[in-house]
Structure 1
């Protein structure tokens, strides 16, 4: 019954993030031109401010959009879409607009009186998507567990979380108000499912970009001309590299060896961190639940009580509690474990259950306990009284912490001494005086690695911000520190043709492929239509010819991919029709529909409610998107959106 509340796994975090992020991510789909045109100087921690439009709006409340919130959303979108880091500035501007538009919607919802009360929030947490986590089986998990959930899932405070939920509810109300009058006709629903439920089977010829690519074999002269024509592209093709000299050490190299921890230090740490070693009052229990549905009549209640009384009688006369729980309990989460609930903190269950659990002694079984869930029989197995764990019990936990702290501090001091001596006498002499080995690297690029170091990323990064011959500097290397100096730099430069020939060939081929693919597809399509036979045209041109299964729009076809993509054209063609060229990226296809099956009236009727819901959802989304765009334009034109600095509208990628 309470197992889910004891989990702190990735799934729970993702579920929470999806729920609370849904309104932010899906509410705004398009960028609105002009929103980044107005600017003002101000707090760099604030991305933008939004106030109500009009003269009086300038003197009312303004909503700040924080730069940290923009960056967090941008990072989250970057990770979710698995995009490279260099797109972060673009994603940050998109994220900024999403949050600005959210603030605009919040102002509009407030103006319409759609605010959410504390009672509305309480009801949402008890009955909405968070209920199964915060009120499992109707029982509140308690303030401490609630706060822990919010912090682990969102890294925000409870008050910020509740404010976010309130804001989402308010915007949902606004969306419902804006889209509430939307309807779709029965004919539109039938037509939509007729398209959605249609299945096709087709022959298709596949022109592969990879096959075309292999056939592109330019001469050296062609490649040299290509290399010259694209000189700007290759100007810095060979990245900057640096040669370093360094000496590294870890705790084993410290004078006197690894620092030792004294009993006095352990005692001091224990005294300062006693809150970490406090044990709460807890009880370990089993239970049997005979459930009574909410609103059940007296007869149903009496039957449940009678069954519970019979089980209690069996237990009192020597019956095995665990066996009886496994066979009879209505709590699916604990019955398979003989009713075992594990250790419970005081105040974490409903009052009647909590009182009995903490009143009984270990080994005792309760009488019937009536709660909102039904009738319980409870058996106490063990108890823990609230107490402070003694130092002898926790010393083994404290010593490694102090050892790490002391070693870290000693390593840092040692690195500063080594750095100071290296600046004065040179790295070689300073390292030799301490018995440390000097290493000279090969030329290393920014994304390179240093063999022999557990983590050389910090050393490489810092070396690329240092000048050649600059004074030695120290840097952490995962396990220990290193003192280094940049001894040589090779600037980014264009490659020699000979050494870069394979890369140039790859680029040349890649440039030629789209044109060749288009030309080959058009030639195939023309020939197929002249012959009125796709198979014969494919054979003449030595192009692979295949036949699909009978597939719907949710299906997949080899080479062509998902049928809701470029291949969707097949559903619009009559049986026996040869398509126009279909460019699906790395392949091109011409297809010939050989069979087409439309859904029967019975299938349309069966799927009518679901299809109507899908159409309504799409209509709501489209109408609300237009509403957001118009509202944003209104606020922007009225000067109600002020940015902290001038922003460049991001150019769309693939949109």
Structure 2
């Protein structure tokens, strides 16, 4: 996933750079001027950041991404990562959730532009419908070790309430406060082992301890949805099939065409290659 490297900070530096010698840092060892800061940031991050900003500007003219669409993608990440969401943001270099949302928006814009070039056959749609599994709603209790999970399973079999044990024992603090509820989800959202176990359960059934990369889960499916007709699902299935066909090369080709149509002119000679997608936009 592409990263918006210090985009906001760089824009501020660009705005302050014009013939500026004001010091942004003073010390006994010497000062650092706004112009020095701008040149250093432009050299290191300029082309990459300008390319990303240009992509959003150009694509936003033709395509629209709603707040609801961004919220949905962020929710999927939170559902999948649980309590590890903030840690994952840091590991991937995002400053905060808002920084991540910026990247989600750009990815959705690129996806919509790529979708326009993809054809889907009736057979592909019918195969997708046959493989489709409706969303389910589940709760879980997550613990670090198998012994603790087995102890919780025994308490549940003895009549303890799932919600009470989730609040007391689960290490997934986000869902623990809600009695373990992780909400509705479909395939391809949760950890694969978690998903497989959850979809194997009947409504209100409780699983044995399930091991995933996050620890040991005890899962309860609390609600299920019925599979809608093919006609009602056709638009959703079309989007899913198209998404499965999107590649990075396709996105690069689409962006190259969009940049060409927009007649982009970059005045700073050091940033000329920012929209040259034949090579990485790294100075």
Give the shorter-chain TM-score range. 0.3 to 0.5
Structure with greater strand percent: 1
Structure number with higher relative contact order (C-alpha < 8 Å, ≥ 6 residues apart): 1
TM-score, normalised by the number of residues in structure 2: 0.44
Bigger CA radius of gyration: 1
TM-score, normalised by the number of residues in structure 1: 0.21
Structure with greater helix percent: 2
